[in-house]
Amino acid sequence: MDNNEIAKLGLQYVNQFTQQVITLSTAVLALSITFTKDIVKNVPHSPLWILKSAWAAFLVSIIFGLWVMMAVTGILTKSNNETLFIVGDTIRFPSTIQVMLFGLGVILMILYGAVSVRKKAGPELDSEMGKD
């Protein structure tokens, strides 16, 4: 296997990983938006800014993922069999931002869930936590 084939294989893996992160971001975004009415109804004083921030992080993660996929496509269409691929900041920067925003979105969703559960449980949960 020569360097060109290794580079093409690496770009395929980058593309597949990016697609997976886009799929996960889209799924979490769609499901959380779909069921928000039910969640907010059960916990009326939940901090919606956390949830909206998570949505924004997932949305921007999707946008950066599309940027990565366009960069991979651009590199593959410009190459020929004799060219050695050099993957630099063209892919590394948007890919890093995509993964960081996806992680931020996940953390914010977990934080929103934790805060909402705590608010729904109310003072009973706080008093029980102090007994340990």
Q: Express each pLDDT in 79-123 by its tens digit.
A: 555 444 556 778 889 999 999 999 999 999 999 888 887 777 665
Give residue 132's pLDDT band: very low, low, confident or very high (50, 70, 90). very low
Q: What are phi and psi of 87, to 5 degrees?
A: -90, 110
Tokens of 22: 């886009």
Give the pLDDT mean for 60-86.
78
- Picking from 109, 106, 96, 74, the residue whose alpha carbon sits closest to that of residue 17 is 96
Give CA separation, 16 vs 44, 94, 95, 130, in Å.
Answer: 40, 15, 12, 47
Give the pLDDT mean for 50-76.
92
Tokens of 11: 């770009």
Answer with the residue of higher pLDDT: 132 or 112. Answer: 112
* Residue % of the chain over a pLDDT of 90: 44
Residues near 77 by beta carbon (within 8 Å), at least 6 away in sequence: none
Give residue 41's pLDDT band: very low, low, confident or very high (50, 70, 90). confident
**Buried b / exposed e across 68-89, counting CB within 10 Å, b at 16+?**
bbebbeebeeeeeeeeebeeee
- Rounded CA separation 28/51 (Å): 11
Tokens of 38: 């039910």
Answer with the residue of higher pLDDT: 12 or 45. Answer: 12
